[in-house]
Copies of this chain bind each other. A is one copy, B any other.
Amino acid sequence: MSAEATSPAKVGIIMGSQSDLRVMGDAAEILEEFAVPHELTIVSAHRTPQRLVEYAESAASRGIDVIIAGAGGAAHLPGMVASMTPLPVIGVPVKASISIDGWDSILSILQMPAGVPVATVAMDNARNAALLAVQILGCADSDLRDKMTAYKQALAAKVETMVERVDREGWRAVRSSL
């Protein structure tokens, strides 16, 4: 349905509207960083329900292993996709302009009934959705798991660098530079 990589996509990133790209682009960037083949497209649960059905029903047979779905307001996309695929679906609550402080998208995605889970991540946190996809793929790909371990070490190193900077320059200097 779209092409973001030369190998067949393993992760499908979908979102309800192009305005969600502001948030959901981060997921693609992480997957690029981890060299995970992926695709990205727009599927609106409410405006293109047929497209939603086709996407969800075909994903597994097309080789997709994990679906990342982001939406705002009454966010039905992640849960409806989950209802039509055996794949794990990761939901990203987007705090859209139509949102009530984000509560609507969080609860619409999180509170799925028994039988149909959606792996929900923090509001607007598409980066974490992609990292979770990498962790999932890492269950069968030890290289990817090693990369994840390295990624976490890099996160720690970045904190250590900042610790040293605060020690060296003093917190006031660091605060001023924020």
Residues of A whose CB lies within 8 Å of any CB of B are: 1-4, 16-19, 21-22, 25, 28, 40-42, 44-51, 53, 60, 65-66, 72-74, 76, 79-80, 82-84, 86-88, 90, 98-104, 106-125, 127-129, 131-132, 135-140, 145-146, 148-149, 151-152, 155-156, 158-160, 162-163, 166-167, 170-172, 174-175, 178
Q: Which chain B residues lie closer than 8 Å to A167 at the CB level?
A: 1-3, 41
| Alpha-carbon gap, A166 to B167, bound state (A) | 45
Given contacts A18-B162, A136-B136, A171-B40, whether A116 and B46 have CB atoms under 8 Å apart is yes
| Subset of 14 A-B contacts with CB under 8 Å | A3-B167, A4-B170, A16-B113, A17-B159, A42-B163, A46-B79, A74-B79, A86-B152, A88-B132, A100-B101, A100-B107, A104-B111, A116-B131, A117-B121
B175 and A111 contacting across the interface, CB-CB below 8 Å: no
B122 and A121 contacting across the interface, CB-CB below 8 Å: no
User: Can you name 11 extra interface pairs (CB under 8 A) apart from A99-B111, A116-B128?
Assistant: A16-B113, A18-B178, A46-B83, A49-B80, A51-B156, A66-B139, A74-B118, A98-B124, A107-B107, A108-B111, A115-B128
| Alpha-carbon gap, A148 to B60, bound state (A) | 12
Q: Which chain B residues lie closer than 8 Å to A117 at the CB level?
A: 121-122, 125, 128-129, 131-132, 135
